[in-house]
Amino acid sequence: MATLIRVLLILVLSDSIVSIRGLGIGINYGQIANNLPSPSHVAYLLQSLNISKVKLYDANPNVLTAFGNSNVEFVVGLGNEDLQKMTDPIQAQTWIQQHVLPYIFQTKITCITIGNEVLTGNDTQLMSYLLPAMQTVYGALGSLGLKKDVYVTTAHSTGILGNSFPPSSGVFRQDLAEYIQSILNFHSQTDSPFLINAYPFFAYKDNPNQVSLEYVLFQPNPGTTDPITNLKYDNMLYAQIDAVYSAIKAMGHTDIQVRVSETGWPSKGDPSEVGATLENARLYNGNLLSRIQQNQGTPAKPSVPIDVYVFALFNEDLKPGPSSERNYGLYYPDGTPVYNIGLQGFLPCMDYSASNRNGLGFFHLLLFPVAFLICTL
């Protein structure tokens, strides 16, 4: 076996190094994999990248403990399978006492998501549990004195829209109107945001001959103009966000903020998944980061900075479905970037051997006060 030579490079911190602390961007930390680093190593990684907002799909105690006193804000989640029992006040309070209270004084838990994309599923009974579960969890937070610290919401697919173009004509699907109207009333009453999972990738994959690749990747393009408002859109994500704002307004609300709980682009896919390439993923996420660094709002909400959680931190090798599902990560499980979007300056490299690649764990992670990059050649 060839000898591995480690080269230590000192990176001088300068204004040119990308920092996203304080911006409206976070990361989805999915864990459907058998080769991920330990939560403590992930905590070092994200702090070195200045990422201060993380969204989980559960309330993993190992993760919440590892991020104690880190200043990272957490969204924790309850799965769709938990909705029915969360309609019971006793079970909701017990869950909060077990999964939130032990960690909230060290780890900044700011939000609980109740289910994921429930309204675009086929289970009408599950849909009927969604709002009661949200209300009950919110009530339990109140009884524990936490409702001012932790907000309650749920994440929706953009499939809840019945019309999305032009953005000013955005409306929700009529068959979902009853559910959504009540959820919007809840958000208005509790001052909580409306979350959407928005993926321009899917629009391009399904209609590559009709959807401009430049338009979905934030690249220079002629764009589209909303004929009603005369507002110009040069990318699909902003158009999707404004379509949701319009749909909310059509339901009688103008006081609810829309946040993007998931967006991203896969770096690899099946042959049928048009556009799932490393270069397109680099362009989408890199250009999105650049837009958010500019503190941009959408054309219809120019003074409201966009709040986005990128999907996802790591490639997750156990996710079911097409190949793209396992290739949304910004990083490989060994902590190296899948592609360059300007964040490597803060990335501490991890000692990662062949045994680690089989899921046996990390030996160590090196992190210094001034950023160092340990590269294996």
- The residues annotated with a catalytic role in the active site are 117, 262
> How many residues are listed for the chain in this entry?
377
Cβ neighbours for 88, distance < 8 A, ≥ 6 positions apart: 136
Q: Taking Cα atoms as reference points, which of 78, 77, 260 lies closest to residue 158?
A: 260
> Given the structure tokens 């966009």, which residue do they identify?
306
Residue 347: C-alpha distances to residues 37, 68, 158, 202, 266 (Å): 14, 20, 33, 30, 21
Rounded distance between C-alpha atoms, residue 306 and residue 260, angstroms: 8
Q: How do beta strands 308-310 and 194-197 pair?
A: unpaired
Q: What is the DSSP secondary structure assignment for residue 273, as one 8-state letter?
A: S
Q: Taking Cα atoms as reference points, which of 39, 75, 77 lies closest to residue 54?
A: 75
Amino acid occupying residue 49: L
For residues 76 and 67, the answer to whether their CB atoms sit within 8 Å is no
Total Cβ atoms within 10 A of residue 5:
8
Residue 155: C-alpha distances to residues 54, 61, 159, 270, 301 (Å): 15, 22, 12, 27, 21
Cβ neighbours for 82, distance < 8 A, ≥ 6 positions apart: 95, 115, 133
Q: How do beta strands 108-116 and 308-310 pair?
A: unpaired
Rounded distance between C-alpha atoms, residue 167 and residue 158, angstroms: 13
